[in-house]
Structure 1
Amino acid sequence: MVLFARPRGTDWLCNAARVDAALENLYRLARIPLSYKPNRHGGYVTLPAGCGFGGGRTRPGSYANTAHNAPLVQEVLADAAVQRVANYVDAGLQAYFPKLHRFYHNLLAAILRDSPDIVQMFQGCCYGACHFNLHNASTIDHEDWYNILFGMCAVYSSGTYDYTRSGHFIAWSLGIVAQFPPACAVYVPSACVTHANTPIAGHETGSSAAFFMSAGLARWYYNGFMSDKEYRERATVEQMKAWNAD
């Protein structure tokens, strides 16, 4: 696990304030359906962006939002301050995990070539997707098993909370508890490490942008741009032996 410190200077603090405002505005304007239930990570509101494969899809595609929420999410993605955060987490991954960064970059490029209907979430960012976790996003213990097992999820913190008293990032299976200041990013192998973050006070706000790469995209690419089911139906005996061994 790596905590990537925020850049120094007032310029980055001003950028962070713009991101805080954009995510709080998304929280205020989003309409959550009556059928919405707390997700398995916690009881906060979360909205997806980017692309993935799995969950009943027949091929890779963009994550869906309601007709009301979709343009609001797109507005956040187009915000120059949020774009800068995406470049920031990309730079951190490249600095600490250059081979993984190259793998993500090449995988996403291949998926976009194969599925031209998918619009890249952020230019200059190797992650395929993110979740905007809004307003009071404290999570319970969980693993993100739909992400690539050996990958690193990047979580950018946002809000106005006292990070010395709340909002700590916990990697339970690593035995790590760390302060997680706003405008910083943490990298964690989220599919195999149980993690969470502590609640914030009622008068505070704490949002995050969690960047990830769907394991389904990697399987789709590895299978020659087809699902596991389709690959098994088409593969020869020799190909299946190699596939199972891998």
Structure 2
Amino acid sequence: MSTVVHHKSFERFAGFGSKVLAAWYPDLQSYYGEHLEALLANDPTLIRNYSSSVFACATVNFGPRTQCFRHTDCANLPFGLCAITSLGSFDHKQGGHLILWQCRLVIEFPPGSTVLIPSAVISHCNTAIGINEHRYSFTQYSAGSLFRWIQHGFKLDDEYYKGMTEDEISEDTKQNASRWANGLSMLPTLNTIRCTPDVSDD
């Protein structure tokens, strides 16, 4: 696993996924980055997976014909995104499609492609591939509990709430109730997205 994680190709996959997040979701990317830096600063024994990525966690599905059944990654940051990279050798016209159930979308997902999806709230899976084909995947994400750990002063819930007054608990409850709205405010809308000029000929 260490060999795979530190392979130059995976370093590039990781950096690309993080850059896509920065390009389309700059506020969310900053939120991820700030919390990851705080986590690492609090515990010097932690090792960052990739210096080029703001995601805290990574998973490699080795296949040889990786197929995920319909699921949500409910432990991830609820308003966050995960970066999924499809790898292998298969006919993407015939199989390996990404399905986003609530969106009613079936998307061709060729090897080498990366997509960012809100995996904690949208059910997703991928279709099967041929018996003689190969499919792998590389996923980056950050668990929601990491953000709670940081926001609670690097304490477990029992320790964090111990000794709190009723007013302090009430204020914390209000902050929790507004967390979803604050998270959604970091996502871009059609009015805020700015298309960059094509500089490929420069």
* TM-score under structure 1 length normalisation: 0.69
Match of 1:92 in 2: 20
- Is structure 2 residue 134 aligned with structure 1 residue 244? no
Helix, strand or coil: the match of 1:100?
helix
Cα deviations across residues 134-179 of structure 1 (Å, max 9, x unaligned)?
1211111100001000001110010001001100000001111100
- Is structure 2 residue 58 aligned with structure 1 residue 130? yes
Q: CA deviation at 1:86?
A: 0.6
Match of 1:167 in 2: 96
2: distance between equivalents of 1:123 and 1:94?
15
Aligned residue among 132, 149, 174 for 1:203? 132
2: distance between equivalents of 1:235 and 1:189?
34
2: distance between equivalents of 1:189 and 1:229?
29
User: Where does 1:1-246 land on structure 2 (aligned, <5 Å)?
Assistant: 73-135=1-63, 136-245=65-174, 246=176
Cα deviations across residues 30-72 of structure 1 (Å, max 9, x unaligned)?
xxxxxxxxxxxxxxxxxxxxxxxxxxxxxxxxxxxxxxxxxxx
Distance of aligned partners of 1:115 and 1:234 in 2 relative to their CA distance in 1, 3 Å threshold: farther
2: distance between equivalents of 1:236 and 1:225?
19
Aligned residues: 174
Q: CA deviation at 1:234?
A: 3.5
Q: CA deviation at 1:233?
A: 1.6
* TM-score under structure 2 length normalisation: 0.84
Give, as a single letter, the amino acid of the residue that structure 2 aligns with 1:120. R
Give, as a single letter, the amino acid of the residue that structure 1 aligns with 2:88. G
Percent identity at matched positions? 29
Q: Which runs of 5+ in 1 are unaligned?
A: 1-72
Give, as a single letter, the amino acid of the residue that structure 1 aligns with 2:23. A
Q: CA deviation at 1:107?
A: 0.7
Q: Which runs of 5+ in 2 are unaligned?
A: 177-202
1: distance between equivalents of 2:164 and 2:100?
40
Q: CA deviation at 1:229?
A: 2.1
Q: Which runs of 4+ in 1 moved over 3 A?
A: none
Q: CA deviation at 1:205?
A: 0.6
Cα deviations across residues 79-100 of structure 1 (Å, max 9, x unaligned)?
1111011111111111111111
Match of 1:48 in 2: none
2: distance between equivalents of 1:236 and 1:188?
39
2: distance between equivalents of 1:115 and 1:174?
39
Q: Which moved more, 1:187-196 or 1:227-236?
A: 227-236
1: distance between equivalents of 2:146 and 2:165?
23
2: distance between equivalents of 1:162 and 1:101?
33
2: distance between equivalents of 1:169 and 1:74?
28
Q: Which moved more, 1:149-158 or 1:134-143?
A: 134-143
